[in-house]
Chains A and B, each alone.
Chain A
Amino acid sequence: MTITAAFVATIAVVIGAGLALRRWDESRNLRFTDEAGSNTGLWALARVDGRRMALHPAWLITVGFFGAITVFFSHLDDQTISAGVFEGFTYVAIPLGGLALVGVGHRLGTRSRRNNLEELEAATPTAPRTRTASLLVACLAPLPVAALAAAALTVAVRLVVPRPAPVTASALLSQSGFLWVIVGGGVVGVLLSRWLPVAAAPLLGIVAIIFLNNGPDHLHPRYRWLRPAVELDIGGAFDIRPERWQVTFVLGLVALGACLALLRHPLRAGIVAATVVVTAIVGSIGWIMTRPPSAAQVAAVVDRIERPEAHQTCVTRTGVRYCTYDGAEDWVDDWTPAIQAVLTQVPAERRPTDLEVIQREPVWPWTYLEEVSAAIDPQVAWADDGRIHPSLVLDTSRPDLTVAWQTAAVAVGLPASVDWQHPSGCMAGGQARQVLSLLLAARATPTTRSALRDKGTWIRNEAKQLTPVSADTAWDYSTDTPTAFGVTVPETDLVAADGVTRRDFVAVAGASGWGTDVLAAVALLDVDRSTLDTLIATHWDKLVDPSTTTDQFLEWAGIQPVGGARSSLPPDDPRSCS
């Protein structure tokens, strides 16, 4: 709960410093502090300042620049945009735009003071409180701009990403929390302008917001919900806290900021009551979001993780059974051709039958609530079942990668995916079947071919030839997984087969090879396709034999060994793929 203490301390510092500054200021300068006046001009003033806030260059440039950057890098690096079409926008451009609005709100709030207009304004019938309230209302004005930008980004992302997530009411609700961050930025600016009308205040405010959002507990599975801007995909589909609570919580924080700004003026019963109510609401929602989950909630989440099929939609296509969670049904359309492209390269009599593709929760244990982690039986959740397991966190720009690698692994007799018994996968380095699995997958689709070549380039550039290398195309299974479940894992499982290099992420497919195996597969990609088809068909049984080496494979293909390759581990080595 250190984040709560940080919030309270921050507010106390602002109010305390504000009171001290006011005393100091009024003892040295003539200030026109009469609060008498009406609120007649509230909405007209809000329109004036709203227009200035919505069209302020600092806000527009920030949102426009980082929105464009998001689209640009999505296209350039083919990066994942998985959680929704607004993800990049809401995670980067909107929060930064909100921070810019802290400065904008502060400048608008200190306009009278900075421009020596206080005396002139004091002679009008409009109360200073009304000017504060109008500024707070004006903080809503950037929302339509953000909505327009989001709409434009939606179009842009849909042009870049082959299969973006659908724009559902739930997705909009989830993302709306970020939109309120925009309003919150302006409100914080106005709040600071009232308590700390000095030039450095917005900068300090921005630093404080960044600290509150990314400081204490920001990755804690439970307390992270107390942040103003939470990445919703950290907990993914298995978050127990509904996003709507967090949206309401952010709204409450915004309202609390507004109340604190109005409290700078002489106390009025209505504002005090509103502050008390809003504080109670924020506190209640904070408690609701961070209270321990019920046993039923935990059991429901655990069941979804341990028995995915019971919660999934299953279809059979071309002899392969596919099961997906809600919202992922369309992925089958992308997986089917990739899997079929791998299988058609396998001799018909050796082609695996009864292939099953079951979507499975990625093992990101730090995102689970402690109660969920304690209740999960990892032996069940990540069983060695020989099935293909694409995760929930899919690379939307390359949807065929995971299933292609895993299908190829199954075809050559390697484990499809990592499992609880082999949390870091097994080592098939130096074995021809490891090279063959990479080759089969790479030849399946243009995307997989490109991915393998990229991997080869990376190995050469980084001199990873003698390093265990997985077909990691998505960060599904972390080496931290076992320890997160309170299990002591033998060092041999956590340390790579060369005994030195620890892999940060293990294979999507259940086996790893040496870097030289990847280079061998890349070299084979350049061999004439029909020649290679013949070689695979005639030597299949030998190629999938664990005793056949990478160099032998290359020799049969008529190309030089990659050179310097390490031999495979002895069959009795516990790290070796059996």
Chain B
Amino acid sequence: MSSSVQIRGLSKSYRSNRVLDDLDLRLRPGVTGLLGPNGAGKTTLLRILATVMAPDRGELRLLDRDPSTEADRVEIRRRLGYVPQEVGYPEGFTTFEFVDYMAILKEISDRDARHAEVRRVLDIVGLAEVRHQKLRKLSGGMRRRVVIAQALLGRPELLILDEPTVGLDPEQRLRFREMLSSVHADATILLSTHQTTDISALCQRVVILDAGKALFDGSPVDLAATAAGRVWHATERHPSARVAWVGGDGRVRNVGDAPTGADLAEPTIEDAYLLLVGAGATLEEPAA
């Protein structure tokens, strides 16, 4: 199967701050999770893949096209869905009007076809009932779903999602997983999130980015396996643990270099992430 996204030697700097550093990556159809601490370069990478930002150096092919050329860039955008990390909402628009507006920008010109497509994506995100409500009257989670809905317009082959579940309550996150599953199987989806549970539940593959470099690229199972033998339970925090916390059963879960004879626990991708990103790194608190 050919790669939808091919990145080789990609670099990007903001003034003297190098955000992406000679990054290599290939993405195929399926859901790929992108993990990394703040400032790791995730959003910059996604912006480059969404063609809204150009890299300083490196080779990039998206959907078998070269985004450095204007014609290819436009063609990529025709087949792209994008949820930026931060996005506002135009005042005075209803849910339907906003998604319809985005559908026009995505070149769905035929009015009837466009309206049908808008209704389809609003159904997918569960907002059909509020399609005539003004955006300002929707909750934060519902607004986030509106942005997800617009990304699904035109059945994109490449879906770039930058923290799409921020602001969603647990039920909405589950619905998001269901929704993402409904996207056709040939689509390549890159999902940046701090929710490791989303990664476990959705992604066939996970990439951990730190300081502009890919520290890990593999399946979630493989990621978790990197922490095998380095997670153990004890009655107290062990000096060799990088991170330790009291679990629900009252025992302390230590992550680090396990001492001999330790009561080893089944590692999770969260454990592996902690070990990969380093002692100084911490996981962000999941957004409410």
Contacts and interface: CB of A to CB of B under 8 A. Distances in A.
B73 A36 contact: yes
B233 interface: no
B91 A115 contact: yes
Given A34-B52, A120-B147, A126 B101 contact: no
Interface stretch (A37-45, A164-172, A493-501): A37-45
Contacts of B51: 34, 122-123
Among the interface residues A32, A37, A122, which one has the most CB atoms of the partner chain B within 10 A? A122
Q: Could you say which interface size class chain A belongs to?
A: 20 to 34
B52 A117 contact: no
Nearest to B105: A124
Interface residues of B, number: 36
Contact of A36 (B47, B74, B89, B107): B74
A111 B89 CA distance: 9
A115 B90 CA distance: 6
Contacts of B109: 40-41, 43-44
A205 B68 CA distance: 38
B129 interface: no
B280 interface: no
Contact of A115 (B74, B77, B88): B88
A47 to B, nearest CB: 9
B86 interface: yes
B257 to A, nearest CB: 41
Interface string B172-212: 00000000000000000000000000000000000000000
A125 B77 contact: yes
Given A32-B53, A122-B52, A115 B89 contact: yes
Contacts of B50: 123
B88 A125 contact: no
A119 interface: yes
A114 B90 CA distance: 8
B218 to A, nearest CB: 28
A115 B98 CA distance: 12
Nearest to B72: A36
B79 to A, nearest CB: 9
A126 B73 CA distance: 11
Contact of A116 (B87, B100, B111): B87
B181 to A, nearest CB: 23
Contacts of B91: 115
In the complex, which of the residues B73, B105, B150 has the most CB atoms of chain A within 10 Å of its own CB atom? Answer: B105
Nearest to B14: A30
A120 B101 contact: no
A106 B100 CA distance: 22
Given A41-B105, A116-B86, A125 B52 contact: no
A119 B84 contact: yes
B77 A123 contact: yes
Interface in A106-147: 111-112, 114-117, 119-126
B171 interface: no
B239 interface: no
A48 B105 contact: no
Contacts of B73: 34, 36
B92 A120 contact: no
A566 interface: no
A41 B107 contact: yes
Nearest to B47: A119
B80 interface: yes
A52 interface: yes
A116 B88 contact: yes
B84 A125 contact: no
Contact of A45 (B52, B80, B84, B104): B104
B155 interface: no
A515 to B, nearest CB: 59
Contacts of A52: 92
Contacts of A40: 107, 109
A124 B90 contact: no
B82 A38 contact: no
A119 B74 contact: no
Given A36-B73, A41-B107, A123 B52 contact: yes
Contacts of A112: 90
A48 B104 contact: yes
Interface in B111-161: 111, 114, 147, 150, 160
Contacts of A41: 104-105, 107, 109
B78 interface: yes
B102 interface: yes
A52 B54 CA distance: 34
Contacts of B77: 37, 123-125
B61 interface: no
B106 interface: yes
B285 interface: no
Interface of B: 47, 50-54, 70, 73-75, 77-78, 80, 82, 84, 86-92, 97, 100-102, 104-107, 109, 111, 114, 147, 150, 160
Interface of A: 32, 34, 36-38, 40-41, 43-45, 48, 52, 111-112, 114-117, 119-126
19 contacts: A32-B53, A34-B52, A34-B54, A36-B73, A37-B77, A40-B107, A45-B104, A52-B92, A117-B88, A119-B47, A119-B86, A119-B87, A123-B82, A124-B105, A124-B107, A125-B74, A125-B77, A125-B106, A126-B104
Given A44-B109, A120-B87, A126-B104, 19 more contacts: A34-B51, A34-B52, A34-B54, A36-B70, A36-B74, A40-B109, A44-B114, A45-B101, A48-B104, A112-B90, A117-B87, A117-B90, A122-B52, A123-B160, A124-B102, A124-B105, A124-B106, A125-B78, A126-B105
- The list of the 7 closest CB pairs from A to B, nearest first, reads A116-B88, A115-B88, A124-B105, A123-B82, A122-B52, A125-B77, A36-B70
